Structure formats: structure tokens, C-alpha cells
Amino acid sequence: MMRSTNVVDSDNDYCPNIFDDSVEHVPKERRVPTPFCKGRIYNEDLYEFSEEDILTMCPDSVQRVTKMKGSKNKIILTFYGSHIPDRININPTSFEVKPFVERPLQCFCYYEFGHGRRNCNNRSRCGNCSALVSHLTSECRSESYCYYSIDAHPLRSRQCKMYLLEQDILHLANTQFNSIGSAR
């Protein structure tokens, strides 16, 4: 759920002028994106509310609320600006806010980073032994081997040097407000 603003999403976007109450026209290509950062909180009781209800309970510094799928207590808060508060008050309760960095996007066809399976033009690889198109990962009887880091672990491992490098790149892009390409 996203908090509404005065900006209209169309080809003729408008940006509020901070010096008076009028609104001035600003072309899309000349607007500077507002920096934002993401934080995470955990609470089972709060998770029972809808994203819209949680957003209305949050302070104005929160732009968006997202409940994580597959979780019963993890909530992602998107904040305006470049600072994540240490704590946030939502109604009468104070929650500790931890930084949130998304996991690197990894293809489950060739197991490269930066794209998904739908956008992969490579041949399939076994996610356990890195063999090309010879068998399914679920049927693999070989020892684990990572083709990318030349190490003894499956390609999906979170201990893989390539995974950790991609995670560092995402963290740098999120904290420095760079594009992922610039962070590489």
C-alpha cells in the first residue's frame, strides 16, 4: 500500500511548489526521484491488519507498507528520505526498525544473478552440481559444486561468494541511492 501524494502519474506530471500553494508543471525527465529507504519490523498482532490500515497508523515518514508473503510477522516499511529511524511508533507500540535489503535476483535455469528464469536465454544447469542439461536438480546424485565460485556448495547457496557479492551490490545501491549498474 502506498501513501497518496500530490504527484499525478501521467505524462504531464505535477510537482508541488514548496514556496506557495500553487502547483507547477514539471516534465517527467526533469524530476529528481525522492530518495527512500526500506526497513523491516516484526509483529504478529500488527500483521493481522491490512496494509492500508497499518499505513494509516504509521507516521507520515512512511510511504508504503508491504506484508511479506510467506511470513506471519514480517512487515516492510518504505520511508521517505535517506534515513531509517531506530524505532517507529505505530499507535501505542514502539517497534525496532532494522534495514531491509532485498535478496539478489537469481535465475533458476542457469543460476546467474541479475535476471529471472523467464528472461534467461541460456541452457539449463543443475542447481546442485552445475552440470548442463543432463538431469534435474531434484534427481542429482553428484556432490555439490558451484560453477561460479568454484567451491563445494549448491548454486543456490547463500554462502556463495557470488551471492554475497550481489548482496553487497544491492546493499550499496540501496544505501547510496545508486542504480544497481552504478553500484557494480
Domain ranges (residues) in the chain: 33-99, 104-166
Residue type, 107: C
**Residues in contact with 159: Cβ distance below 8 Å, sequence separation at least 6, in sequence order:** 153
**For position 11, what pLDDT does the model report?**
38
| Mean pLDDT of each 10-residue bin along the chain, 184 residues long | 45 39 45 69 89 91 89 89 86 88 84 85 88 85 90 90 88 70 71
For strand 93-96 and strand 87-90, is the pairing parallel, antiparallel, or unpaired? antiparallel
**Residues in contact with 107: Cβ distance below 8 Å, sequence separation at least 6, in sequence order:** 113, 115, 116, 117, 119, 120, 122
**For position 97, what pLDDT does the model report?**
93
Task: Kindly give the residue spans of alpha helices, DSSP state H, lying in the chain.
Answer: 44-47, 51-57, 161-176, 180-183
- The CA R_g of the chain, rounded to the nearest whole Å, is 21
**For position 51, what pLDDT does the model report?**
92
- 32-53: b or e for each residue (b if 16 or more CB lie within 10 Å)? eeeeebbbbbeeeebbebeeee
**For position 50, what pLDDT does the model report?**
92
Whole-Å CA distances, 119 to 136, 157, 165, 167: 20, 21, 21, 20
pTM: predicted TM-score of the whole model, two decimal places: 0.57
* Helices H / strands E in the chain, number of each: 4, 8
**For position 2, what pLDDT does the model report?**
53
